[in-house]
Chains A and B, each alone.
Chain A
């Protein structure tokens, strides 16, 4: 029953994590939780990169995963900064209440 783990297992797990992240991005109203879903999506990408890095015995995949993490950090810092500025002006974190530009 306990068969060895192949690259395919990691790819399937990555798809599942990605789908959960996209679902969270689409259904939640709270922008903080939406940004957490974004982190989930980036993590799913990293799982994929590491799986192929192992499969091909090539460390470039891990280097790319490092760059993905760097971009995730930058995105989180900027995004949370924007969020604080927005909360100060609008007093809400629900994305469907921020509809100033919506006709």
Chain B
């Protein structure tokens, strides 16, 4: 029962944060709302016994990506943008399209739910914890994608430095 309560709490945090993210006027407020949403999702990871992802979400997403966003908001002057119109001219079309897509997804989900297997009963966690199991899987079965991810990150570092650097010639 406690699980149920926590689920609704974190889900509410995630959804409310998400809605505030796309409606707030000031970009800094949007970033703060997004942090709340990400924290809610992190809580859901913890409820699902994904402890490593919980830590990654807190350290990497909230501590890394969101700080990056806040730095960019600081570098890019958004004060004039906050005073302007926030939505596109055709924002109603966009919103209707997105909500329709969500409704269709929900409808498909409700059709597919009866065939969804209930899954194995929630067994006790194995002797070694989530992080050890994840590391085993990551370094045995998914070693090549793991190494490719490091190349991707290297490319991202070099690319973002090149992009943001001032042209001096």
Q: A-side interface residues toward B, CB under 8 Å?
A: 2-13, 15-30, 32-33, 35-37, 39-40, 43, 46-47, 50-51, 53-57, 59-60, 62-63, 65-67, 69-78, 80-85, 87-88, 92-94, 96
Report how many A-B pairs have Cβ atoms within 8 Å. 239
Q: Assuming A19-B101, A57-B120, is B73 touching A32 (CB within 8 A)?
A: yes
Whether the Cβ atoms of B72 and A63 lie closer than 8 Å is no
Chain A residues within an 8 Å CB radius of B164: 80-81, 84-85
Contact A70 B109 (CB under 8 A): no
- Contact among B52, B64, B99, B113 with A23 in the assembled complex (CB-CB below 8 Å): B99
Is the Cβ of A30 less than 8 Å from the Cβ of B153?
A: no
Interface of B is mostly: helix
A47 proximity list for chain B (CB < 8 A): 41, 44
Interface size class of B (residues with CB under 8 A): 35 or more
Using a CB–CB cutoff of 8 Å, the interface residues on chain B facing chain A are: 1, 3-5, 7, 11, 14-15, 18-19, 21-22, 27, 30-31, 34, 37-38, 41, 44-45, 47-50, 52-53, 56-57, 60-61, 64-65, 68-69, 72-73, 75-76, 78, 81, 84-89, 91, 94-95, 97-99, 101-102, 105-106, 109, 113, 116-120, 123, 130, 133-134, 137-138, 141-142, 145, 149, 152-153, 155-157, 159-164, 166
Query: Within the assembled complex, what's the spacing in Å between the Cα atoms of A51 and B53?
Result: 13
Query: Do A15 and B15 touch across chains, with their CB atoms under 8 A apart?
Result: no
What is the chain A residue whose CB lies nearest that of B54?
Answer: A50
Q: Are B5 and A2 in contact (CB under 8 A)?
A: yes
B78 neighbours in A (Cβ, 8 Å): 30, 32, 93
Q: How far, in angstroms, from A12 to B7 measured CA to CA in the complex?
A: 13
Q: Using Cβ atoms and an 8 Å threshold, which residues of chain A touch B86? A: 28-30
* In the complex, chain B residues whose CB is within 8 Å of the CB of A21: 18, 22
Minimal beta-carbon separation of A37 from chain B (angstroms): 6
Provide 22 A-B residue pairs closer than 8 Å at the C-beta atoms, listed in order of the A residue: A16-B15, A17-B18, A19-B101, A20-B15, A20-B18, A21-B22, A23-B95, A27-B91, A28-B87, A29-B86, A32-B73, A33-B22, A43-B41, A57-B120, A57-B123, A60-B137, A65-B50, A69-B61, A73-B60, A77-B68, A78-B163, A94-B84
CA distance A58 to B124 in the complex (A): 14
A33 / chain B contacts, CB cutoff of 8 Å: 21-22, 27, 30
Name B18's contact: one of A5, A40, A66, A96 (CB within 8 Å).
Answer: A40
Tell me whether A83 and B21 are in contact in the complex, defined as CB-CB below 8 angstroms, given that A5-B4, A28-B87 are known contacts: no
Closest chain A residue to B15 by CB distance?
A16
